[in-house]
């Protein structure tokens, strides 16, 4: 993905108009590399999302491995949310992922207040899935959410 999380935050902070922010979010989704059909499996499907969302996780080696994520959705806006979460979490160590609060980011870029309850729940499901994958990779047995 072209945009890093700092660049995404700057983009949102630069845009005042909510409709423009939605367009920016959709554009971020368009820049997301599409998942191949082979990755659109039941195991990669994120449960709890109103739209179809798939998240593929690759885990590195070691006690605090680096996790990388690829994702996709059948809805343009949700695909943008997937892109933001990938920018936030992909390429980080499991411990960093567990310590990163997506809610703070969503508040900072004023996105959470504009999402429908369904989209907010889907976003929460996506973050919980990412954190579960990180906890499993780090060998943490008490759930992480």
Give the model confidence (pLDDT) of 43-93 as tens digits: 999 998 788 999 999 999 988 999 999 999 999 999 999 999 999 999 999
In a domain, 104, yes or no: yes
DSSP 64-113: S-EEEEEEEESSHHHHHHHHHHHHHHTTEEHHHHHH--HHHHHHHTT-GG
Range of the domain at 117: 5-138
Task: Please name the helix (run of DSSP H) or strand (run of DSSP E) that holds residue 135, with its range, or none.
Answer: helix 117-138
In a domain, 81, yes or no: yes
In a domain, 145, yes or no: no
In a domain, 40, yes or no: yes
In a domain, 143, yes or no: no
What pLDDT, on a 0 to 100 scale, did the predictor assign at position 1?
Answer: 45
Count structural domains, the chain. Answer: 1
What is the domain-level CATH number for residue 88? 3.90.1010.10
| pTM for the predicted model, two decimal places | 0.90
pLDDT category of residue 2 using cuts at 50, 70 and 90: low
Name the residues annotated as catalytic: 49
């Amino acid at each position: 993905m072209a945009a890093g999380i700092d660049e995404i935050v700057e983009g949102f902070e630069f845009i005042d108009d909510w409709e423009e922010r939605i367009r920016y979010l959709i554009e971020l989704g368009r820049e997301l590399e599409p998942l191949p059909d082979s990755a659109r499996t039941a195991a990669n499907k994120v449960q709890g999302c109103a739209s179809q969302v798939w998240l593929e996780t690759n885990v590195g080696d070691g006690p605090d491995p680096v996790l990388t994520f690829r994702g996709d959705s059948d809805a343009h806006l949700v695909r943008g949310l997937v892109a933001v979460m990938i920018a936030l979490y992909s390429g980080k160590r499991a411990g960093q992922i567990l310590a990163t609060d997506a809610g703070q980011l969503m508040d900072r870029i004023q996105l959470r207040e504009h999402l429908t309850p369904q989209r907010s729940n889907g976003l929460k499901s996506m973050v919980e899935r990412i954190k579960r994958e990180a906890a499993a990779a780090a060998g943490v047995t008490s759930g992480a959410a």
